[in-house]
Structure 1
């Protein structure tokens, strides 16, 4: 078993590993550390989901989902277009400039289009816990949290978060323990990303246009205080 196979297995089912996977982790320091980070993230998720849900929250969520049917249909059509383009091999990369962190963030969104049309760990305290662990403090809400998932990224894992902001849907990817030296920007297939360094790693914002990405980035800078 190689490292990539181990990490896929660990992310697919963190609590159940094959004998071969356990043997690999015991022999590979990098994968052993990776497994520990995944276990810590799973524990964080469990603690966050154990927080009591306020009475009537489910009814309020259903009401807002009903009110948002039309916007979500538009988002679904956009995501379906991404899937079709990938399947047809029609996506042409136009990266400006060629910056890996921002480019990889867009590629991650393109490879997970369901994040724009589904709800996962929505309306839970998990987002605040993740930002806090990442060295940030949320001073004001960014918007409605729709999707939160721990995903494999280059050389590790990162949190994939989708928010309904005043500027529309935006993806926020938090990548701990990996660092960039300066802000990065990229455009791929009409999608725009901006990556920003923080003390504990970097974060990337991905939206459907450069203007929206700039506005969401400004919103994050105004409403999240990153420890320096």
Structure 2
């Protein structure tokens, strides 16, 4: 599949789960950000549609107009059929869209981590440590408890990862900033490598999901994932809480969700 075909198909259905389409997205550095931006715009549009409230009595007025036009000019019936069909389609779409948006994504967990770092690369420049109160606030959203010292943390927030949310940290390293993702409910069969032209790291399985630790190429990360995982106690239902928080972020819309993270 070439880039032109990929973009045409993506614009027709931003959440298409076709294997060929997803394979091109994973391997093409130009189309991957285009796909993320297209899906973000689609979610924003659907957020606006969800907020639309039809005027009171709209359905009755449409039915009355349809009956009148039927008597006057039968050739115009199809206009009202089209309007009714569109209203029905919007209603069904709004009811089901939030349960299908991210489930259609088959991107690998490692690629999703790299995409998230790329999307929020501005946080890599954070240089001032966050307060202990900020750390507690972020982990409290998952009913998680700090059981040890994480070290210096320059950024901490709840962030979406595929179809759940997790905790996104940025910490200082010797070669540059180190990104950490606590991902409750994201189970893996073993340690997964993360490699790109700039970054290196790994995803380590835990009892509650997995943790990703990613640094600049050449950064020594041995044992860091295990140490950070041991420093936080998670509830038994951590994965369910992460899924519920993700659904709530979708219902609020991206701007409101980001404001609540601050």
Q: 1:123 matched to which residue of 2?
A: 131
| Conserved? CA contact 1:122–1:147, under 8 Å | yes
The alpha-carbon distance between structure 1 residues 198 and 117, as it changes in their structure 2 partners (threshold 3 A), is: same
Cα offsets for 1:31-72 (capped at 9, x unmatched): 4999xxxxxxxxxxxxxxxxxxxxxxxxxxxxxxxxxxxxxx
1:123 and 1:183 mapped to 2: Cα distance?
A: 31
Cα offsets for 1:162-197 (capped at 9, x unmatched): 123688632111223332222211211131121122
Q: Aligned pairs, how many? A: 158
1:142 equivalent in alignment to 2:177: no
Question: Normalized against structure 1, the TM-score is what?
Answer: 0.51
1:122 and 1:24 mapped to 2: Cα distance?
A: 43
2:42 and 2:208 mapped to 1: Cα distance?
A: 22
2:170 and 2:234 mapped to 1: Cα distance?
A: 19
Aligned residues: CA RMSD = 4.1
Which of 6, 24, 28 is the aligned partner of 2:96?
A: 28
1:160 and 1:211 mapped to 2: Cα distance?
A: 19
1:152 equivalent in alignment to 2:193: no
2:132 and 2:148 mapped to 1: Cα distance?
A: 16
1:179 and 1:201 mapped to 2: Cα distance?
A: 5
Q: What's the offset of the Cα at 1:2?
A: 7.6
Q: What's the offset of the Cα at 1:7?
A: 8.1
1:164 and 1:5 mapped to 2: Cα distance?
A: 30
Question: Normalized against structure 2, the TM-score is what?
Answer: 0.45
| Conserved? CA contact 1:162–1:172, under 8 Å | yes
The alpha-carbon distance between structure 1 residues 123 and 165, as it changes in their structure 2 partners (threshold 3 A), is: farther
More strand by share: 1
1:200 and 1:7 mapped to 2: Cα distance?
A: 32
